[in-house]
Structure 1
């Protein structure tokens, strides 16, 4: 057929463009357009020129390298120092050809145009289009192999991709249909019915997957290679930040922990956010949580890609003796810049978009300085909150919540008519009726145990309330959850109003605070501060008689007769024996069954019809060969030869004698010694074997005697030899197709 190179260029280029759709979420559509288009155009142009001028492989590779270095500075990014080629851009691009792939997998999307990461899609498009079109334009027999290049590019892009898919169904179906149709056109076997058949199969498989996949997979997240390159930061490996509350006050009370400059008015400094309660501690949800406080990601050029509404500011930080991995933040961080060694520290930075919490996996070093471009949310007014509803957010369900929490929450806020009133009622009750004490008896504090688990909160709410931010924040968050409010606990620093306007604010361990956040629709997470003022302490000079004289006034508990020394650590320690997942084997089996069903149904739809045809043909052969009458078995052997010839696309004359049919088949399969068009093995000729089979069948039919068992077996042996000769005489594709055609079944003999 006549060559049409323009069709090769269009089909393969479009297929390559579809194959690169999975990397759009990695770089962003706007950043990806220029390098991909440039790579496809350069690769296609070089392939056409190289085919026309008959360049050798070495010259073509050299031209591709030159195009990469000449065009790369204009489309790769700002690290190449301008759009024109230079010595710096050459070094950067050559280095990026090796290192960009690692950067794409280890930096968190969206990567944008930072550095030389765009060298990866540019190089992939350039090499892919050059390789595919070179195969298609410069070779005839192997030209169809060019269809494998877009598939290889697709595999690479999937490896580099994220959990977000871009038009996967439409792109996949369009790519497969275009490539299969193009390969058929190249080989001269294109037929409209084949395109329609492939489209129908694709539609069935797509529809089946769309309906069953969400149910079978239970909306599980996709496996992503970038999550496996470096073990993801798992906050479950860190101790509960709230459990360190008492240590901040006791061990680091006079130690400078953090200096903040440029803190907006009314803003707080966040250290950690906890939304998971296991009955013992509030903690940051583990990395297995799909969302919430445990989903930390590596950070690229932009920290928080979401568009937040609020006051924009630039805040500068200097770390003192911060004791853990949590990096202080203000509001929602848009960009974090470290002073000195930015690259090394950025590789350790992890950020949670749902809580605005950041962490350095190796800890926050003393003296570290960094700058954050932040957005501080606007605090809604009380009337606004009274009209607001709670937001729909998925949080880990609290475990082992004591009954006292439910009882007290109903007593305090049972009559509140809105989520805002419920939250304010809980905050007011705890902050006005409770008493403050860190429990450091040696420093003159009223005894108060540390910890914030179920037992400690039961003691707090069951008697006169005495505690600090650790207990009050835990109690309010649990009561808010019981009242249906999405709540979480925050550990951080709140500037004293007296120093809020200072250009530099230094926080020590004694400034540590804990508060509660509740998520309201339209306003986001709103802070509530249930801890009583530090000046509100139990009166030590009130005697029991004086307290009894006025029963209408709630009196603090009398001091104990024997001093109670508060423990240094939490009195409640979690146990791991009861938390073992005993259902693991059954869950594994369930996943395996669902995976088998998910893969088995489409496979059955695609391979079922061919397998059914093969089974029917095998059953027909066995029935003929095992017939009770020897004459019928011989006739069955002759019919088997005719059916195999029909499946091999050779016409068998109707209303003709066996000898006439033998002559016709000998002519249709070609003379002895010919070679099939696809270069298969030479045929030894079938005229003699088929003529012999026809003569012996006539002799058996017209002789009037039944053949012996040995004669029947010998006849079927000659049938197998004749069928083998017929198969060797046809092209390879016809041989393969004969296994799956139903031509001989339509006119059953």
Structure 2
């Protein structure tokens, strides 16, 4: 038996042609086998988009937005993954993107709005039929963003608002999943969720909030994890110029870069933990984009409130306006606040925005710290035809109806801007300032805050007699004493005539002050004249002042705490702002509807009588036709300081483009440094010499795709470098020709000399090339010739 031995024969190999061995070509699309592995990347991309959606937790409650985030990120990511798996199984190298986008589009048109309608009904947002899904989707696409920014946060989870947020998350998740599976740049994958994270933080007014910082830290951790998984599952190196053979183990890259990812994660969590404790950050009020957008001006045909108040007081038979059940019957109800005066009439500059689930917290200027007490009341309207809803004090919460709210005033109006229905019933919880401490008011100082200057403005030509009246009436040792003296002077300046016509013009007030005490003229004024005279003269004395139209609690009817408010219970009174105290009412400056003085002053009681006029009107001072005033506006009539929504969106778009360009520059700079390190460290001297030549061409902006020899290129490129660069580029070109055509490769010393010449050329080129041109060269993708 003969043994059979195996003889190994040498394998014949083809001779290697002279010249540098080009690196392996890089394909832009992973194979189907690699794509099967990259399908798993939809998990971190979906998590990134979901975290970006949770950044809306300030614009919505967390319990309202989390289900929408899960739905809007899981469904499109799953569709993309299924499309990629199906096409890979069918051995199709292309086309999964079309199937993925088609499936995402069909489900977006049907599943997302229908699910949002169901979620809105479950969370108590609104109740709509599922058959309205197309109408909800259309409104969300065309008007959803505006509605969200015009609603106080947290917004009620209506179907339109949820669909708006879900649409952004839906397409961001689909885009990120498709780019991740295709093997696109990590920047292309991370850009949409990063933009959503910024927009969600802005819409939530959560910049600097500790919870927002933690959300951003978690987002960064998942992003770093995605980058690691992306590099580990690529079929080819991420850098286009890496020449060394890649490890056959797909997770080798992740293992090698694990320390880097761990360091970034640790630093991120440490920063998130320390950021809330930075000096001044917890006290800083976050920026809110709602302050840049003014609601569209809406004009309503409603009688001027001062004119309406005078008309109600003239009625011989009181009209029932509403019924009231309150926990404190000693407080007046505020109906409208008027703070803008043009010399003829008073109007409001307050902005009423759609209220979310909770009412916004006002700035400290409008709600200064001080003693308060809570009042709970239920109002049922009868004949009060108005878009404004009466309430006691600053409204903190509302139930029973949707409302608009003025955060500065703490007052409410109907949500749709239409007159409230006669059967409307709502319950409010309010806080009322407590002015029972006389020393607190006596020590109050006149405010000098520039934000109160609009409440001190008067028309340019104020009659001299009003100026003289303010100078002689507003006297006292303290600012509060001065206003008390002014209230007493105003109340006695002329007689009270409830039947007189309404009028608040400077001419009317001048006539009342000039002839009010002349018994032969029988001059008298209505409640609006007293309040207007006080506010005008207070402003003339340098005090912020405004007018309030409201109601007394009325007469008790039935059970304890139940009152009936009629037209005879309407009241008009002025308010003055004091530093550290807020708006203080001066009820005693205006007689009430019965011809007596107003309610008790917050500090002291006033006289029980007031001069009255025997003749209700005077030909010299009153117009035959009552002035009806302007139509009432729910929004600021002159929002010049506000930016339109289009400008805000354009500004955000420009900022995002600039951020994207900066990110691209950073990525390109990092990639270039990696490329330099890889090329300079190539173990083959021939290839290292040719890499030095290609780097010099890149620095000079010369395309390497040419049949021109290196020496010929050196003659053309040496001119811009001047005399200092002629010798280095000539020497480098000679070494490049040796590496390309000579049978003997350059040695290591020659390769090192080539790189020294390349460094000199790069420094000279940087000095003579403008920064704009260098940035464009940095962003230019490598050509195919440079990727061989």
> TM-score normalised by the shorter chain: which range applies?
0.5 to 0.7
Aligned with 2:336: secondary structure?
A: strand
Which of 729, 734, 738 is matched with 2:782 structurally? 734
How far 1:491 sits from its partner (Å)?
0.9
Q: 1:170 to 1:252 in 2, by over 3 A?
A: farther
Correspondence 1:189 to 2:247: no
In the other structure, the counterpart of 1:296 is 352
Quote the offset at 1:274 in angstroms. 0.5
The answer (yes or no) to whether the contact 2:571–2:592 under 8 Å persists in 1 is no
Contact 2:376-2:429 within 8 A present in 1 as well: yes
Aligned mates of 1:737, 1:238 — CA distance in 2: 75
- Partner residue of 1:23 out of 56, 62, 77: 56
- Would you say 1:353 and 2:392 are equivalent positions? no
Q: Is the counterpart of residue 509 in structure 1 residue 557 in structure 2?
A: no
2:476 matches 1:415: yes
Give the Å deviation of 1:319: 3.0
2:694 pairs with 1:639 = no
Structure 1 residues 500 and 482, CA, compared in 2 at 3 Å: closer, same or farther?
farther
- Structure 2 equivalent of residue 490 of structure 1: 548
- 8 Å CA contact 1:22, 1:166 repeated in 2: no
Q: Secondary structure at the match of 1:485?
A: coil
Distance apart, 1:188 and its partner CA: 2.2
The aligned counterpart of 2:177 is: 134
Taking the aligned partners of 2:713 and 2:145, their CA distance within structure 1 comes to 64
* More divergent stretch after superposition (99-108 vs 484-493): 99-108
Which residue among 296, 315, 328 is the counterpart of 1:232? 296
- Once the two structures are TM-superposed, the CA of residue 263 in structure 1 deviates from its matched residue by 6.3
- State how far apart, in whole Å, the 2-side matches of 1:455 and 1:188 are: 80
Q: 2:435 aligns with which of 380, 393, 399?
A: 380
- Larger relative contact order (Cα-Cα within 8 Å, sequence gap ≥ 6): 2
* Residue ranges of structure 1 left out of the alignment (5+ in a row): 83-87, 196-218, 286-293, 441-447, 539-553, 575-580, 611-616, 622-634, 646-650, 669-730, 739-749
1:150 partnered with 2:193: yes
Matches of 1:350 and 1:657 in 2, distance apart?
76
Q: 1:153 and 1:300 mapped to 2: Cα distance?
A: 22
TM-superposed deviation, 1:571 = 6.0
Q: Look up the match of 2:121.
A: 79
1:532 corresponds to: 591
1:201 matched to which residue of 2?
A: none
For residues 214-259 of structure 1, give each alpha carbon's deviation from its aligned partner in whole angstroms, at most 9, with x where no partner exists: xxxxx9985899x68xx63546986642243333334686333333
Q: What is residue 425 of structure 2 aligned with on the other side? A: 370
Shift of 1:11: 7.0
CA distance 1:169–1:113, shift in 2 (3 Å): closer
Q: Name the CA distance, whole Å, in 2 between partners of 1:398 and 1:221.
A: 31
- Output the aligned Cα RMSD: 6.4
| Distance in structure 2 (CA, Å) of the matches to 1:247 and 1:302 | 36
Query: For 1:532 and 1:126, how far apart are their aligned partners in 2?
Result: 59
- 1:656-689 Cα offsets, whole Å, 9 max, x none, are 787x765656799xxxxxxxxxxxxxxxxxxxxx
How far is 1:473 from its partner?
Answer: 0.9
Structure 2: any 5+ residue segments left out of the alignment? Answer: 1-25, 91-95, 243-256, 262-285, 518-523, 598-609, 631-636, 669-696, 702-710, 722-726, 744-778
Q: Say which of 312, 316, 321 aligns to 1:248.
A: 312
Q: Does 1:437 align with 2:485?
A: no
Residue in 2 that maps onto 1:695: none
Counterparts of 1:105-120 in structure 2, within 5 Å, are: 105-106=146-147, 108-111=151-154, 114=157, 119-120=162-163
Q: Which moved more, 1:7-16 or 1:376-385?
A: 7-16
Q: Is the 2:53–2:196 contact (alpha carbons within 8 Å) kept by the matching residues of 1?
A: yes
Equivalence map 1:289-368=2 (5 Å): 294-303=350-359, 310-338=372-400, 346=402, 349-360=403-414, 363-365=418-420, 367-368=422-423
Structure 1: distance between partners of 2:392 and 2:444: 25
Whole-Å separation in 1 of the counterparts to 2:107 and 2:665:
48
Partners of 2:559 and 2:533 in 1: CA distance: 32
Q: Distance in 1 between matches of 2:575 and 2:194?
A: 49
Tell me: CA distance 1:259–1:170, structure 2 relative to 1, closer, same or farther (3 Å).
closer
SS in 2 for 1:733: coil
Aligned residues: 563
Quick check: 319-328 or 110-119, which moved more? 110-119
**Deviation digits for residues 519-578 of structure 1 (CA, Å, limit 9, x no counterpart):** 34555433221113566589xxxxxxxxxxxxxxx998897999779545446989xxxx
| SS of equivalent residue, structure 1 residue 377 | strand
Write the distance in 2 (CA, Å) between the matches of 1:561 and 1:9. Answer: 80
The question of whether the paired residues in 1 share the 8 Å contact of 2:373 and 2:433 is answered with yes
CA separation of 1:245 and 1:260: change in aligned 2, threshold 3 A = same
Distance verdict in 2 for CA 1:239–1:532, change over 3 Å: closer
- How is 1:583-622 mapped onto 2 (pairs within 5 angstroms)? none
Answer whether contact 1:257 1:319 (CA < 8 A) is retained. Answer: yes
> Residues 276-323 of structure 1: CA distance to partner in whole angstroms, max 9, x if unpaired?
1111111111xxxxxxxx211012333455698854444333334335
